[in-house]
């Protein structure tokens, strides 16, 4: 059974209602124990969905997380004339299956109203340019975690032969008659999104493209594997040196989205701060080695198994120093969660954020809960405290939201987290998963 996109499944209106009304109430102190199923990776899914624009045959993605951003991207695909259908599943199930068919693309414009709240929408630029020879995309929005320019996206596409114009808040890209010729581009700094856009643009180019200093994140490997399943010819998958031989057309495919390494790391921190024992079912240890290394340095036992990652926190937490870096370094998306964990560690920790310049907005909220954190530019100094206390706090971005949940699980008393629409963008039914392992957490109306 399939459900057409017009069916009322997590509609934009429903998300808007939740955005304005809901909050999470956490009564801390419970030790987490049990199994948490890890969902499909948000950051991968948002890259795989636009691949449907590269073929006129059906593309089916399995293990898609139920998230606001996924629904938003689905609506954006419909804007282009892509037919989408969601396989019927029980509401209590995690994940879903979506089939997309871009037999005929009816528009090459991604309007502001659909793009403004989701930065990943810029990823339609490359595939639309490759398939249609032109694309007009509104400048994207997303979390307010610092300056995230798209200049590298545009420079990479120009190197592949595109002509780029910017006017009135839109980017217009045009390929020469006959399509992109392909080319070479050396990224001056590692950029995940720009690498993804360039790869999707290059797979249908007339010639061979060479990308140097490309990002190596597992989500990019997932993208390349899907494209290869659709008939793309890509060399160097998993390395920083990608060679893409353009092909005339791609065909459809059925593909399973990788597990979410950031979600797994987030729940690992939640288990650890409560002294818990939690199996992260479906987590891939190989893809989250930097996070595992950090957890072990903090004093958490991490067991890598065939079915997932087992987290055991049966001793004191220890201070450590952490620095975010491009993969295989520590993901910037794990910085806030690890900071919350270190609030309860013995000693003083130093965290350095090298990716984004404005990603410490959760610090004042954690300090409201009794944390002792000072910031100096892109460095945060965390002095461990014996006790965190519940408070009313405000989420500022996706990962910051999770850091407040983690702190609330260990705090004395009640914590109320407002503006949780950020969480709905990136964590599939978070409160339900935490309830599975014993957390006292509920979503209530924010009166």
Residues annotated catalytic, as ranges: 143
Distances (CA, A) of 205 to 32, 157, 250: 51, 11, 12
Find, among 182, 114, 124, the residue nearest to 150 by Cα. Answer: 124
Residue 344, SS3? coil
Distances (CA, A) of 357 to 117, 329, 346, 360: 20, 17, 27, 8
Find the distance separating the first CA and the last CA of the chain, reported in whole Å.
38
Q: Are strands 301-304 and 308-312 parallel, antiparallel or unpaired?
A: antiparallel
Say how many C-beta atoms besides its own lie within 10 A of residue 113's C-beta: 11
Distances (CA, A) of 55 to 40, 204, 232: 23, 10, 11
> According to DSSP H, which parts of 22-178 are helical?
42-48, 68-79, 112-115, 125-132, 151-159
> According to DSSP H, which parts of 10-164 are helical?
12-21, 42-48, 68-79, 112-115, 125-132, 151-159
Residue 348, SS3? strand
Residue 333 in marked binding region = yes
Residue 42 in marked binding region = yes
CB 69 within 8 A of CB 426: yes
Residue 432, SS3? helix
Residue 321 in marked binding region = no
Query: What is d(CA 255, CA 72) in angstroms, rounded to the nearest whole number?
Result: 20
Neighbour order of strands in the sheet with 33-37: 33-37, 277-281, 308-312, 301-304
CB 409 within 8 A of CB 439: yes
Residue 70 in marked binding region = no
CB 130 within 8 A of CB 102: no
With 0-12 CB in 10 A as exposed, 13-18 as middle and 19+ as buried, what is 3? middle
CB 80 within 8 A of CB 111: no
Residue 43 in marked binding region = yes
Say how many C-beta atoms besides its own lie within 10 A of residue 323's C-beta: 14
Looking at residue 345, the DSSP 8-state letter turns out to be: S
Residue 119 in marked binding region = yes
- Biggest alpha carbon–alpha carbon distance for the chain: 66
Residue 326 in marked binding region = no
Binding site per annotation, positions for phosphoenolpyruvate: 42-43
Binding site per annotation, positions: 42-43, 119, 148-152, 333, 355
Binding site per annotation, positions for UDP-N-acetyl-alpha-D-glucosamine: 119, 148-152, 333, 355
């Amino acid at each position: 059974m399939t459900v057409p996109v017009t069916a009322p499944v997590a509609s934009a209106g429903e998300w808007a209602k939740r955005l304005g009304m809901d909050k999470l109430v956490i009564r801390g102190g419970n030790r987490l124990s049990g199994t948490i199923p890890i969902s499909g990776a948000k950051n991968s899914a948002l890259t795989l969905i636009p691949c449907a624009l590269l073929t006129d045959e059906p593309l089916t993605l399995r293990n898609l997380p139920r998230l606001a951003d996924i629904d938003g991207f689905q609506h954006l695909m419909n804007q282009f004339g892509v037919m989408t259908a969601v396989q019927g599943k029980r509401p209590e199930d995690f994940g879903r299956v979506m089939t997309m068919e871009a037999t005929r693309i009816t528009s090459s414009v991604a309007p502001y109203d659909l793009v403004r709240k989701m930065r990943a929408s810029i990823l339609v630029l490359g595939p639309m340019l490759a398939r249609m020879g032109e694309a007009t995309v509104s400048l994207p929005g997303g979390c307010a975690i610092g300056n995230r320019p798209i200049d590298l996206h545009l420079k990479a596409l120009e190197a592949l032969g595109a002509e780029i114009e910017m006017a009135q808040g839109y980017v217009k890209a045009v390929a020469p008659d006959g399509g992109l010729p392909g080319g070479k581009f050396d990224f001056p700094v590692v950029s995940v999104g720009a690498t993804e856009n360039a790869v999707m643009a290059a797979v249908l180019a007339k010639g061979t493209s060479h990308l140097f200093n490309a990002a190596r994140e597992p989500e990019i490997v997932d993208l390349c594997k899907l494209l290869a399943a659709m008939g793309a010819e890509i060399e160097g998958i998993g390395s920083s040196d990608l060679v893409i031989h353009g092909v005339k057309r791609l065909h459809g495919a059925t593909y399973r989205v990788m597990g979410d390494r950031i979600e797994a790391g987030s729940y690992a921190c939640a288990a650890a701060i409560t002294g818990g024992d939690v199996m992260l079912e479906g987590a891939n240890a190989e893809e989250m080695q930097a996070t595992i290394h950090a957890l072990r340095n903090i004093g958490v036992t991490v067991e890598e198994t065939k079915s997932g990652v087992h987290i055991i926190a049966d001793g004191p937490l220890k201070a450590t120093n952490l620095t975010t870096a491009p993969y295989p370094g520590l993901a910037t998306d794990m910085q806030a969660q690890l900071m919350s964990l270190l609030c309860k560690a013995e000693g003083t920790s130093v965290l350095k954020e090298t990716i984004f310049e404005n990603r410490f907005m959760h610090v004042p909220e954690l300090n409201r809960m009794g944390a002792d954190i000072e910031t100096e530019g892109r460095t945060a100094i965390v002095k461990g405290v014996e006790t965190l206390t519940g408070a009313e706090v405000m989420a500022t971005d996706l990962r910051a939201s999770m850091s407040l949940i983690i702190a609330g699980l260990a705090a004395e008393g009640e914590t109320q987290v407002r503006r949780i629409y950020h969480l709905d963008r990136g964590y599939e039914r978070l409160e339900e998963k935490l309830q599975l392992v014993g957390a006292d957490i509920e979503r209530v109306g924010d009166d």
